[in-house]
Each structure stands twice: as structure tokens, then as C-alpha cells.
């Protein structure tokens, strides 16, 4: 039986007590009261919910989703230098070992170890008394020979005149002339012996053969040295400029030459070289590649390259292990793509996402095997003028319409969505 509103109010003078409000539970008697015609209210509530749902769907259907914004870079070709890092060791540009040329006792050391010395500067003094006596003896022999020459000259001249008058035989005159010539030759021999003894006397003072920095001395005062000893007394090295001997694999060296012949790479002329020290710091002065050796090391299979580097402050020392960063060639029509734009397949294949002329995303396989800084060098698969997606890769889907803008103008909040 249905109740009218007056009848409902008679049964429930305070109908609000039986109505459920947030935070308040209705009375059990009210829920069981026939004053709530639930079967008739449910159809009306369902109709209202359906109407609201249809209106919301219609609003969503009427609103179009804007295209995804992606940042792109326009492909361009340029000459790309190929930088190679190779290991090497430093070496002094001039090295001279100080060795004795005569035997004797070291009486004095005339330099400070580790200091700079000049060419011709005295370094050691060897006992010279024996060599001085030999020089004096040679000088006396020269004087004796010169006196004999004068006597033989006068005799030869007298015999010549007597032979012309028949006073002596012509044979005696010829013998006198020969004796004179022999005495002259003896003078020349004695003078040569004197010069030799004077040279030996000069060798008792050991001098520096070049200008440079001298190392430690291997002998001290009082040591006996010989002219044929194997060990040097010391070593003088010129440290400015310095040589850097670089080792490159013979396979890489030959591959580089083949690339030059095919025209795939272009030589760079005078090759600049940057030196990276063992602690990772870069030496501030740039060097130049001097030459490449013509022999391959049979043990290591490498070719030696030599770079010349200025060393005015003496920072580089002989024997340092360094890394040489040099540009041996360049790619004339190279294409550089940021590394984040390259996608690698499990098997190593590379691909990029492009925005084509229709404004749609497409996938393109490329060849990118060489890293140049924070970019990849693409040698196949792209051409100038194409647009590669750099920002917004997570939102781009092949075949989808996108809005392409320059990569440096894409707002950060849009690429992050």
C-alpha cells in the first residue's frame, strides 16, 4: 500500500530522524517502514546516472587531443675529425752519455747533479800528470827533429854544389838530399805525436757534449775510469722540446691508409696532438706529429708514431707514460647525432625516429659505429635535411602525428610528460 505525504507525516512526525545523513545511521525501524517506496525510487536514480554519464562522454568525444610535441634536430653534413687516443712514452729530444776518453783517477766533479749544463762545460777532472808528461816528451821530440832538419838541409845543399864541380859523387849528393827529406818527415811525425798527446791531455777534463739537464753521477771523486768502460759517467738530456713515442696497432694503421686511398677519409695535413697525463689532466701545450716509423714491431705488432711537444716549463720528464689524443683523419660528409637519439637493438643494430613530410613518426635504421664526444657519427641511413627526434622519444610512436619543434625550444615540462 502506498502512502501519501500527509499519511507519511502522520506516521513520522519527525521524518528527518529516519533519513540517513553523512556520519549518522538511520534507525532500524525507519528502514523497515513502508513509508520508503524503494522499488519506485530506483528506476528514477538509474535514469539520472545514465544521463550524467552520457553527457560526460559526449563532452570528451567533442574535445580533440592535441598532437604530441617533440624536439627535433635537422640533419646536416660537416667535416668530422676522427680523434684517436693512443698510449705513448715521453723521450728527450737530445740524449748524450758522458763517457771518459782516457783512463785515470777522477780528481774532481765540477757540476751539481740535476742542474742545467752548457755544451763544453767541464764536468769531471781526471788526473792529468801522466798525459802532461807525454805532451812534454812529444814537444821535445819535435824540437830535436827540427834541429836535425836544419843540419841535413845544409849538408844536402853543400853536396849539391860539390857534385856539380865533381868534388863528390852524384850518389853522395842524392843520399844527402834523401836524408834531409827524411828529417823533414820526422818533424811532421813528431808534431802529430805532440798533437795527439795534447788531445789526450785535454780529454782529462771531461766536458758536456750538449746543452741540457744533467742527471746523477755514477762515479765519485777518487774513482778509476777507463776509456773503454761500458757505464757512462752521467747523462745530459735536452727536455725542450720533448718527443712522445706513440704506439698504434698495425691493423689500424693499415686500415687508415686504405681509407685514405678510397677517399672515405681525408688527411688533415699537420696532425695536432694533445697529451693527457697519467693523472687524467691535459697538458696545455699542443704538439705535432713528426713522423711514422717504417718498421712494425715484431713482438707487439705496432707502428711507432712520434710527436714533438714544446716543454718550456720542464713539466714533461723522460719516460712518462701518457696518452696522445690526435686527429689522424676526418670524414668529409659526416653526420653527428646526439647519443640519446640512437636506439640500439639487442643485436647491436642502430635506429632513429624521424618526423617525415606528413608530420608522422617513422623508424629508420642507421649505421653509427663511432662515438665523437657525446654524439654518434652516422655514416649511413640519414641524409641532409631530415628531422631526427631528439626530445620526447618516450611519447613518439611510429605512425603517430606529432608537432616537431627545434630541440632547444621544447619546454621541459612537455618533454617530461
pLDDT digits (tens, 9 = 90+) for 358-412: 888 888 888 888 788 788 888 888 888 888 888 888 888 888 888 888 877 765 5
Burial class (CB in 10 A: 0-12, 13-18, 19+), 269: exposed
Of 189-203, 305-319, 345-359, which gets the smallest average pLDDT? 345-359
Domains 82-92+240-331 and 100-234 share a fold: no
Q: Is the pLDDT of residue 96 over 70?
A: yes
Average pLDDT, the chain: 79
pLDDT above 50 (res 322): yes
Which neighbouring-strand residues pair with 249? 302
For residue 16, give the DSSP letter: G
Classify domain 82-92+240-331 by CATH number: 2.40.30.170
pTM, to two decimals: 0.61
Above 80 in pLDDT, residue 16? Answer: no
Residues linked to residue 329 through DSSP beta bridges, in sequence order: 82, 267
At residue 168, what are phi and psi to the nearest 5 degrees?
Answer: -130, 160
Q: Is 374 left (phi over 0), alpha (psi -120 to 50) or beta?
A: alpha
Question: Cell triple for residue 288?
Answer: 705535432
- pLDDT at position 260 is 66
CATH class of 100-234: mainly beta
Mean pLDDT (whole number) for 38-46: 50
pLDDT at 197: 92
Higher-confidence position of 290 and 115: 115
* DSSP E strand boundaries for 189-320: 205-207, 212-214, 224-225, 234-249, 266-267, 272-276, 287-296, 302-309
* Cell triple for 413: 615540462
Percent of the residues in the chain that have a pLDDT greater than 70, as a whole number: 79
In the chain, where are the structural domains located? 1-39, 69-78+333-416, 82-92+240-331, 100-234
**Which CATH architecture does the domain made up of 69-78+333-416 adopt?**
Beta Barrel (2.40)
Helix (H, G, I), strand (E, B) or coil at 270: coil
Q: How far is CA 272 from CA 94, 212, 260, 322, in A?
A: 22, 26, 18, 16
Amino acid at each position: 500500500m502506498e502512502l501519501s505525504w500527509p499519511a507519511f507525516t502522520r506516521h513520522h512526525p519527525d521524518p528527518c530522524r529516519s533519513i540517513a545523513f553523512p556520519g549518522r545511521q538511520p534507525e532500524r525501524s525507519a528502514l523497515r517502514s513502508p513509508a520508503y517506496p524503494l522499488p519506485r525510487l530506483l528506476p528514477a536514480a538509474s535514469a539520472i546516472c545514465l544521463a550524467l554519464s552520457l553527457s560526460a562522454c559526449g563532452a570528451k568525444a567533442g574535445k580533440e587531443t592535441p598532437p604530441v610535441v617533440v624536439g627535433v634536430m635537422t640533419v646536416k653534413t660537416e667535416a668530422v675529425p676522427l680523434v684517436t687516443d693512443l698510449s705513448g712514452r715521453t723521450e728527450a729530444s737530445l740524449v748524450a752519455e758522458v763517457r771518459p776518453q782516457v783512463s785515470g783517477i777522477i780528481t774532481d766533479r765540477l757540476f751539481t747533479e740535476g742542474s742545467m749544463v752548457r755544451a763544453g762545460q767541464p764536468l769531471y777532472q781526471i788526473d792529468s800528470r801522466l798525459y802532461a808528461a807525454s805532451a812534454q816528451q812529444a814537444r821535445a821530440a819535435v824540437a830535436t827533429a827540427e834541429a836535425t832538419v836544419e843540419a841535413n838541409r845544409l849538408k844536402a845543399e853543400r853536396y849539391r854544389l860539390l857534385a856539380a864541380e865533381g868534388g863528390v859523387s852524384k850518389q853522395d849528393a842524392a843520399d844527402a838530399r834523401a836524408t834531409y827529406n827524411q828529417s823533414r818527415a820526422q818533424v811532421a811525425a813528431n808534431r802529430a805525436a805532440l798533437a795527439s798527446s795534447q788531445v789526450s791531455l785535454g780529454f782529462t777534463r771531461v766536458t758536456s757534449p750538449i746543452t741540457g739537464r744533467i742527471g746523477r753521477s755514477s762515479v765519485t771523486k777518487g774513482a778509476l775510469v777507463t776509456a773503454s768502460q761500458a757505464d757512462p759517467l752521467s747523462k745530459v738530456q735536452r727536455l725542450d722540446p720533448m718527443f712522445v713515442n706513440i704506439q698504434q696497432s698495425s691493423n689500424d694503421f693499415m686500415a687508415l691508409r686504405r681509407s685514405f686511398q678510397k677517399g672515405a677519409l681525408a688527411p688533415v695535413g699537420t696532425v695536432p696532438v694533445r697529451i693527457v697525463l697519467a693523472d687524467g689532466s691535459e697538458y696545455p701545450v699542443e704538439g705535432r706529429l713528426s713522423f711514422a716509423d717504417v718498421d712494425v714491431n715484431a713482438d707487439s705488432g705496432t707502428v711507432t708514431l712520434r710527436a714533438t711537444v714544446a716543454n718550456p716549463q720542464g713539466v714533461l720528464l723522460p719516460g712518462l707514460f701518457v696518452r696522445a689524443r690526435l686527429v689522424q683523419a676526418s670524414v668529409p660528409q659526416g653526420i653527428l647525432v646526439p647519443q640519446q637519439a640512437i636506439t640500439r637493438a639487442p643485436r647491436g643494430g642502430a635506429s632513429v625516429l624521424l618526423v617525415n613530410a606528413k608530420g608522422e613518426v617513422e623508424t629508420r635504421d642507421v649505421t653509427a659505429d663511432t662515438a665523437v664526444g657525446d654524439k654518434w657519427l652516422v655514416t649511413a641511413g640519414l641524409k641532409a635535411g631530415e628531422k631526427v627526434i631528439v626530445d620526447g622519444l618516450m611519447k613518439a610512436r611510429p605512425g603517430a602525428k606529432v608537432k616537431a619543434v627545434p630541440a632547444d625550444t621544447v619546454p621541459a615540462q612537455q618533454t617530461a610528460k
